[in-house]
Structure 1
Amino acid sequence: MECDASAAPDVGKLALAPVVTGVDKLVYAAQPKGSSDWYLVLQTGQIRVFSGGQLRSGVFLDVSNQITLSSGGFDDERGLISMAFPPDYATSGKFYIMMTATTGTNMNRDMVVEYKRSSDPYVADANSAKTIVRLDASAVNHNGGHIVFGPDGMLYVGTGDGGGSCNSDKPGGSQDPASLFGKILRLDPNAAEPYAAAGNPLDGAASRVWHYGLRNPYTFTFDRGTGDLFIGDVGQDSYEEIDYVPAGTSGLNFGWPKWEGTHQDTCRGQTMRAGDTPTPPITDMDRRQSATGPYRDYKSVVSGFVYRGSQVPQLRGVYLFGDYTGGKMGALMQCGAQTSPITVINKNPDPNAPNAPAFARQGSLPAFNALTAIVEDNDGEQYFVANRNSLVKIVPGT
């Protein structure tokens, strides 16, 4: 595929069109292979199905008896965060969720659980639950939460560093391959427990680890065209980062908590695993109080995809990223080891800069604020999970 990283991509005019609105606490959405249905993940513990242009009245899965989210000034990071369908979902009926329970025996444990659908294709079998990963109880933040099946058919799992501040709750966990905290895991759910996938780079207690040295890989995505991996690793107080991994590369150490982005010792007194060299991000976003750049209001970076759809031709080959609260997004081209300059895109049009790249809104959508996920459908078109209640599609602007 042609790729040119010599200049910032020209994204042209873009817009957002509503797909589903009014779904409270929506955090993620996914499609099974070969289906046009959207499975909508609510942080409060339910999965609902949007099919044939309508939101079905019942629920596909309900684990809300394990989740009571905190309210008020604290933005709870726990709950039901994502789901993933294996390539053979149509025949196996298996699917996977990642969640952090807030009550009961699994309170504050990050878990990946396998379920099966029932004889009703729009209802899961609640009694089919099988736990694939269960971390030790940890702090109430940095829970990771993203799971996805990669191009190789294996299940990839993002785990946070255990929370606290500067890796304080599970000290050293991110740099210890034997710990499940601060990792990208690569699993084969059809293998024997502990479900480590064949070909992983490490053995023994670290047999499930694919990459490590991460703080909170809340979102990560595979380029369907190349198999390359992009990781949005949420920073501490200074820098957000996007990490890039060429297809097939394993065992990388991204340096946290010794490194935050391309900067050492923002957390004092931290060390790297002996003998390791940190893999730097392809870009980091300065969010310090003194920052003056376009991403100074970032809090939790969100990784998008390299666009491989057909409906927005100016985005072909362009990688998008954003932030939960930040007002601007970014677009770049990654061509092997070369990263292009970034095109800054406003979430909402700026009346004082009418020619600046921005997402115009269609269908009476409100202002585009919170971003919890960037997802793609089976055709490679991209969508935002926006405002904690809507799924909106990127379309050409006018």
Structure 2
Amino acid sequence: MKRLLGFALGCLLLSIPLFTALAQSDVALPNVEMTEIARGFSRPLFVTHAGDGSGRLFVVEQGGRIWILEEERRLDTPFLDISQLVSSEANGAGYSERGLLGLAFHPDYAENGVFFVDYTDTNGNTVVARYRVSAADPDLADPASAEIILTQQQPYANHNGGHLAFGPDGYLYIGFGDGGSQGDPNGNAQNRSSWLGKILRIAAGPEGGYAIPEDNPFVQDTNAAPEIWAYGLRNPWRFSFDRETGDLYIGDVGGSDWEEIDYQPAGSPGGANYGWNIYEGMHPTSGRAAPEDLVLPITEYPHSEGVSVAGGYVYRGSTIESLQGIYLYGDFGFG
């Protein structure tokens, strides 16, 4: 059985409130204290590293800037500023699901200086673009190096997805929400000809556009988009690969009632259908029959315990031995 602990492990850096959401594990929740390591950010929503051994952290702001943290100090100049290209205006509820949403460094970044971003452009479309680091300064990206590799029209302003991650296979995985509104009115998540409500898997190198991996699950299906790796997702806001096993964990934001964590073991052939909008969590949402290829989440929790799953990571550190191998995930707030 997968070991999971659900609680908000956020700090001021990530703007995630602290609370205990769920503990479905055979170990007790350890005494964890939060430590603020930096401040001065505007709507930070993701932190990652370049895998280049520099020890730097890269903080993504929703408004379109990426900052470098070096030895817990924010550098004075953004690594990248594409705020003029990005739409992130608040909606009527006072928040936005658009903006600069994802960042992934190429596995060979130390050699080629290539990274990818996912953002909502000023027309409301999702854009995935490739950039390079400046040849003159490793702490600055070259804005002139931008190359758009794909664009997706978004029918509504919410459920943009936006996460990017390179898998252990070297391919780029891209998360797309179902296109927004309520209940997936256009049926995008179950429509395999649409990218919406999916995780895509593409070969994105340092040059050119992208290629379709030959072993993608729907390459031979003329009625499906060949980029699709998984479908039936509402808004896979954050997903991650266990760096030891290669297993994939997906935090899929729920609708009215249930938040869920989906799982795909390493070596999977892809093509999993996680059920939305026929299922929310482990619960049918309509009178339609369950899909034959339905894959239920490995855990769920109701909105009395949270409101929007934020995804997480399998702990592979050495500081807290009792957490070794446990998937830690958080939520945006209380129910």
Give TM class, smaller chain: 0.7 to 0.9
Find the counterpart in structure 2 of residue 13 from structure 1: 31
Deviation at 1:172, TM superposition (A): 2.0
Which amino acid is the alignment partner of residue 175 of structure 1? Q
Q: Is the 8 A contact 1:257 1:271 kept in 2?
A: no
Q: TM-score, normalised by structure 1?
A: 0.73
Find the counterpart in structure 1 of residue 242 from structure 2: 223
Find the counterpart in structure 1 of residue 201 from structure 2: 186
Deviations 1:66-102 (A, max 9, x none): 234334633100000120111100111100011112x
Aligned length: 308
Query: Percent identical across equivalent pairs?
Result: 39
Q: Does 1:38 align with 2:62?
A: no
Deviation at 1:216, TM superposition (A): 0.3
Q: Does 1:83 align with 2:91?
A: no
Q: Is the 8 A contact 1:29 1:82 kept in 2?
A: no
Tell me whether 72-81 or 35-44 shows the greater mean CA deviation: 72-81
What CA distance in whole angstroms lies between the structure 1 residues aligned with 2:249 and 2:39?
A: 28
Matches within 5 A, 1:1-398: 8-33=26-51, 34-71=53-90, 73-101=93-121, 103=122, 107-119=123-135, 120-168=137-185, 171-190=186-205, 193-203=209-219, 204=222, 205-249=224-268, 250-265=270-285, 268=286, 276-287=292-303, 296-326=304-334
Instruction: Give the ranges of 4+ consecutive aligned residues of structure 1 lying more than 2 Å apart after TM superposition.
Output: 2-8, 66-74, 190-195, 268-273
What CA distance in whole angstroms lies between the structure 1 residues aligned with 2:87 and 2:247?
A: 36
Question: Relative to structure 1, is the Cα distance of residues 35 and 138 closer, same or farther in structure 2, using a 3 angstrom cutoff?
Answer: farther
What CA distance in whole angstroms lies between the structure 2 residues aligned with 1:235 and 1:189?
A: 30
Deviations 1:125-184 (A, max 9, x none): 11111112211232000010110111111111110000011002xx12111222100111
SS of equivalent to 1:65: coil
Q: Is the 8 A contact 1:239 1:286 kept in 2?
A: yes
What CA distance in whole angstroms lies between the structure 2 residues aligned with 1:196 and 1:213?
A: 20
Question: Relative to structure 1, is the Cα distance of residues 183 and 7 closer, same or farther in structure 2, using a 3 angstrom cutoff?
Answer: closer
Find the counterpart in structure 2 of residue 370 from structure 1: none
Question: Relative to structure 1, is the Cα distance of residues 8 and 85 closer, same or farther in structure 2, using a 3 angstrom cutoff?
Answer: same
Deviations 1:178-232 (A, max 9, x none): 2100111111112874532232111255211110010000011111111111111
What CA distance in whole angstroms lies between the structure 2 residues aligned with 1:192 and 1:255?
A: 34
What CA distance in whole angstroms lies between the structure 2 residues aligned with 1:83 and 1:92?
A: 16
SS of equivalent to 1:91: helix
Which amino acid is the alignment partner of residue 294 of structure 2? P
Q: Is the 8 A contact 1:175 1:272 kept in 2?
A: no
Deviations 1:103-138 (A, max 9, x none): 2xxx11112111111111111111111112211232
Q: Is the 8 A contact 2:88 2:120 kept in 1?
A: no
What CA distance in whole angstroms lies between the structure 2 residues aligned with 1:242 and 1:164?
A: 22
Question: Relative to structure 1, is the Cα distance of residues 306 and 108 closer, same or farther in structure 2, using a 3 angstrom cutoff?
Answer: same
* Structure 1 vs Structure 2 CA RMSD: 2.2
Deviation at 1:36, TM superposition (A): 0.6
What CA distance in whole angstroms lies between the structure 2 residues aligned with 1:271 and 1:108?
A: 34
Q: Is the 8 A contact 1:257 1:270 kept in 2?
A: no
Q: TM-score, normalised by structure 2?
A: 0.86
Deviations 1:34-82 (A, max 9, x none): 2310111010001111113321111111110123433463310000012
What CA distance in whole angstroms lies between the structure 2 residues aligned with 1:3 and 1:133?
A: 35
What CA distance in whole angstroms lies between the structure 1 residues aligned with 2:55 and 2:289?
A: 47
Q: Is the 8 A contact 1:187 1:197 kept in 2?
A: yes
Find the counterpart in structure 2 of residue 334 from structure 1: none
Question: Relative to structure 1, is the Cα distance of residues 68 and 193 closer, same or farther in structure 2, using a 3 angstrom cutoff?
Answer: closer
What CA distance in whole angstroms lies between the structure 1 residues aligned with 2:231 and 2:81?
A: 32
Find the counterpart in structure 2 of residue 356 from structure 1: none
- Of structures 1 and 2, the one with the larger relative CO (CA 8 A, separation 6+) is 1
SS of equivalent to 1:125: strand
Which amino acid is the alignment partner of residue 253 of structure 1? N
Question: Relative to structure 1, is the Cα distance of residues 193 and 57 closer, same or farther in structure 2, using a 3 angstrom cutoff?
Answer: closer
Find the counterpart in structure 2 of residue 390 from structure 1: none
Deviation at 1:269, TM superposition (A): 6.3
What CA distance in whole angstroms lies between the structure 2 residues aligned with 1:270 and 1:61?
A: 46
SS of equivalent to 2:272: coil
What CA distance in whole angstroms lies between the structure 2 residues aligned with 1:178 and 1:242?
A: 24
Question: Relative to structure 1, is the Cα distance of residues 172 and 20 closer, same or farther in structure 2, using a 3 angstrom cutoff?
Answer: same
Which amino acid is the alignment partner of residue 162 of structure 1? G
Unaligned ranges ≥5, structure 2: 5-23
SS of equivalent to 1:201: coil
What CA distance in whole angstroms lies between the structure 2 residues aligned with 1:309 and 1:139?
A: 39
